[in-house]
Structure 1
Amino acid sequence: MDTKIKILIASVLKPVDDVRAYQKIGRSLAQTNKYDVNIIGFNSKMINKAENISFHPIFNFKRNSISRIKASWKYYKAYIKVKPKLIIVSSPELLIVNYIIRILFGTKILYDVQENYRLNLKYSHAYSSKIKPILSLGIKSIEWMSRYFVSGYLLAEEVYVRQLPFLKNRPYEFIFNKTAITSVQHINEPLNFPVKSKISFIYSGTIGKEYGTLEAIKFCQNLYKTNSKVSLTIIGYSADYKYLKKITESIKLTPYISLKGGERPVPNEEILKELLIADIAIMPYEINENTAGRIPTKFYECLALHKPMLIPNHVMWLNMLEKYPAAIGVDFEDINMKKFEAELSQKWFYKTLPGKEIQWSDEENKLIPFVKKHTLK
């Protein structure tokens, strides 16, 4: 008789093989052989079979599609089919139906807080200014209600404790987005890029104004004027079609800049392959209330792959990366390219290689006891 405890991990906009849901949380729980892990999410073309893990790709719509209204009903039907003992949910819009499930069936809920969703909405350019206040009030109300229905919280960032009042006096555990990448070819010596050397840059992940995609393009276009050996690969997905159109227009006459993905989500495996062969990752994030206290997941991936990074001049991030060193701070709005080239040529990256401090294993060691505690109650 199968005595494994059923766990359901659910998200509306993340694929079923999402890095955090599947490759990190899902795999960590599944490998204990105590849990039957079920993952609900967006449809994916690269679903892999995994022991003790089942995928339920029940969503397949665009971010702003009217079909999204049906998401909660689809999710409820999937819940009835799985009948888990514990739910780990990361989408605020699925919280209401989970509250109903809690009332009807007593199923325990953990809320995986991956973002400050209200701040993310505030600084997002994908929604109109008219609808933002309505959505923000909805998120605030739904998340506050979690105090009465959610057993505990998984927090992807330390800053959320200060930013999110509904967490006060509630049980939580920090589960940071450290990397699950463990086996890479180690560099034999520190990396250096002499002036006018061939450099392949990469911009990966979400394509959007708040992530600075256009700034990455402008940066490489300006650098190309003094070094025709540079190239840029942009790989990722954008839900902001107006912004994506600006991207495609801006690179029409630049054969050294390529775009992969854009209108379609790109599997993380494809992104990592491109990241592995690139020389330098470029990340011109907007520094605002939403991003300032967070550590981008991409930092951990680049550290694991020993990829130098160009990032904004944000003290917290620069301090974190300087011990290796792994990054150069850049003012993407007003850059002196000659000064940058000189600094790049003098910089030696990864004199110290990252160790256990960037690995998911530390988070796994916190996750498993926290989940166990909430399945035993």
Structure 2
Amino acid sequence: MAQERKKRRIVIASILKPVDDTRMMEKIGMSLQQAGYDVTVVGYPAKSLKVWPGIRVISLPAFARLSTGRIKARWTVLIKAWQERPDFFIFTTHELMGTALLLKIFSNTTLVYDVRENYYRNIRYSEAFPRILRLPLAAMVRFKEKLLAPMIDHFLLAERAYESEFRFHRGGWTVIENKAVGIEPLARKRGGRRLLFSGTLAVSTGVFCAINLAILMHQQDPKVTLTIAGYAASRQVQEKLAGLAQVHSWITLVGITELVSHEVIVQRIHESDLALVAYPPAHHTEGSRP
């Protein structure tokens, strides 16, 4: 009897993204697993207890966003990936570029960088870091990407705009946009008043624009409610949202100080009548699609 062909191994890894992250697990991980690859996903612990058939899941120890635990996580990823002996290592953040390089040197693994953000612009122009640190941190990240890019075998770009926003990926790339995973439509009651804003919560993603609109709508119709579901990296944004929810009892907060699983987001979508999307003009999101 012919010997069964050994499956090629792939490790998909992140630092801050949870193991059940939609792009990492459902879009890339499940697609590769269904194509016949042996897939392992490594990432931040997920809130969901969902089981993913055919995929090994390795959760990193939990850590604060700005802590030494975040640095230690890179070494944990390296150890876990080394133990898996992957043929391909797909990493989803610039923080794992050094880890990926070491893996390639010692195991000759094929490296794929899934570029999900323009990290230079995000760090420099968003409120995620203290203002005094933004430019030096952004410059350091872009220098690292340019320096190590020749060692990377292929790039995946999450936005078509990235083709022109930077050049370090010129060795070879494929655009795989972050298109929404289909959600089964549900019947809506006419005149529904349940509003939802979900996703990353920041000034630049328009959460406060959405709140201002909801307040105007609530003034016209007191039955209007708003649910805000997602994670806010900025302490100032967290505190401002908490304050607004105290003043306006019809605003419900879900997550805010911690990650919210994709399953919970989908549940909230099903429970809502209208989703709000607001992208105020900003340097780091001008080429992105919400």
| TM superposition score normalised by structure 1 | 0.72
How is 1:327-342 mapped onto 2 (pairs within 5 angstroms)?
none
247-256 vs 150-159, which moves further: 247-256
How is 1:322-361 mapped onto 2 (pairs within 5 angstroms)?
none
Say yes or no: does 1:146 pair with 2:148: yes
Contact 1:207 1:262 in 2 (8 A): yes
Show CA shifts across 1:63-91 (max 9, x none).
Answer: 11222121221111111211101001111
How is 1:256-271 mapped onto 2 (pairs within 5 angstroms)?
256-271=250-265
Show CA shifts across 1:76-132 (max 9, x none).
Answer: 111121110100111101001211221222111001011111111122212012211
Question: Which residue of 2 is the match for residue 225 of structure 1?
Answer: 219
Contact 2:18 2:45 in 1 (8 A): yes
Question: Which residue of 2 is the match for residue 26 of structure 1?
Answer: 29
User: Relative to 1, partners in 2 of residues 1:48 and 1:283: Cα closer, same or farther, differing over 3 Å?
Assistant: same
Question: Which residue of 1 is the match for residue 48 of structure 2?
Answer: 46
Say yes or no: does 1:276 pair with 2:270: yes
In structure 1, which of residues 119, 123, 128 is the aligned counterpart of residue 125 of structure 2? Answer: 123
In structure 2, which of residues 164, 169, 177 is the aligned counterpart of residue 167 of structure 1? Answer: 169
How is 1:1-377 mapped onto 2 (pairs within 5 angstroms)?
3-32=6-35, 34-168=36-170, 170-181=171-182, 184-185=184-185, 197-296=191-290
88-97 vs 130-139, which moves further: 130-139
TM superposition outliers: structure 1 runs of 4+ over 3 Å:
none
Distance (whole Å) between structure 2 residues aligned to residue 113 and residue 287 of structure 1: 22
Query: Counterpart of 1:8 in 2: which secondary structure?
Result: strand
Contact 2:126 2:284 in 1 (8 A): no
Structure 1 residue runs of 5 or longer lacking an equivalent are 297-377
User: Relative to 1, partners in 2 of residues 1:91 and 1:125: Cα closer, same or farther, differing over 3 Å?
Assistant: same
Query: Counterpart of 2:185 in 1: which secondary structure?
Result: coil
Contact 1:89 1:112 in 2 (8 A): yes
Show CA shifts across 1:339-359 (max 9, x none).
Answer: xxxxxxxxxxxxxxxxxxxxx
Q: CA deviation at 1:48?
A: 2.7
Distance (whole Å) between structure 2 residues aligned to residue 26 and residue 198 of structure 1: 36
| Alignment coverage as a number of residue pairs | 287
Q: CA deviation at 1:165?
A: 1.4
Q: CA deviation at 1:59?
A: 3.9
Q: CA deviation at 1:235?
A: 0.8
Query: Counterpart of 2:246 in 1: which secondary structure?
Result: coil
Contact 1:30 1:51 in 2 (8 A): no
Q: CA deviation at 1:192?
A: 10
Letter in 2 for 1:96: G
Letter in 2 for 1:108: T
Show CA shifts across 1:177-212 (max 9, x none).
Answer: 123326x1366xxx997xxx4421101011212122
Q: CA deviation at 1:284?
A: 2.2
Distance (whole Å) between structure 2 residues aligned to residue 114 and residue 57 of structure 1: 20
Q: Which has the greater radius of gyration?
A: 1
Distance (whole Å) between structure 2 residues aligned to residue 39 and residue 256 of structure 1: 38
Identical residues among aligned pairs (%): 30
Distance (whole Å) between structure 2 residues aligned to residue 53 and residue 239 of structure 1: 29
Distance (whole Å) between structure 2 residues aligned to residue 225 and residue 59 of structure 1: 45
Distance (whole Å) between structure 2 residues aligned to residue 239 and residue 200 of structure 1: 25
Q: CA deviation at 1:47?
A: 3.8
User: Relative to 1, partners in 2 of residues 1:141 and 1:161: Cα closer, same or farther, differing over 3 Å?
Assistant: same
Contact 1:16 1:47 in 2 (8 A): no
Q: RMSD between aligned alpha carbons? A: 1.8
Letter in 1 for 2:6: T
Show CA shifts across 1:317-371 (max 9, x none).
Answer: xxxxxxxxxxxxxxxxxxxxxxxxxxxxxxxxxxxxxxxxxxxxxxxxxxxxxxx
Q: CA deviation at 1:249?
A: 0.8
Distance (whole Å) between structure 2 residues aligned to residue 40 and residue 164 of structure 1: 27
Distance (whole Å) between structure 2 residues aligned to residue 152 and residue 51 of structure 1: 27
Letter in 2 for 1:153: F
Contact 1:154 1:173 in 2 (8 A): yes
Distance (whole Å) between structure 2 residues aligned to residue 233 and residue 216 of structure 1: 11
User: Relative to 1, partners in 2 of residues 1:289 and 1:242: Cα closer, same or farther, differing over 3 Å?
Assistant: closer
Distance (whole Å) between structure 2 residues aligned to residue 206 and residue 58 of structure 1: 21
Letter in 1 for 2:74: S
Contact 1:208 1:244 in 2 (8 A): no
Contact 1:9 1:88 in 2 (8 A): yes
Q: CA deviation at 1:55?
A: 0.4
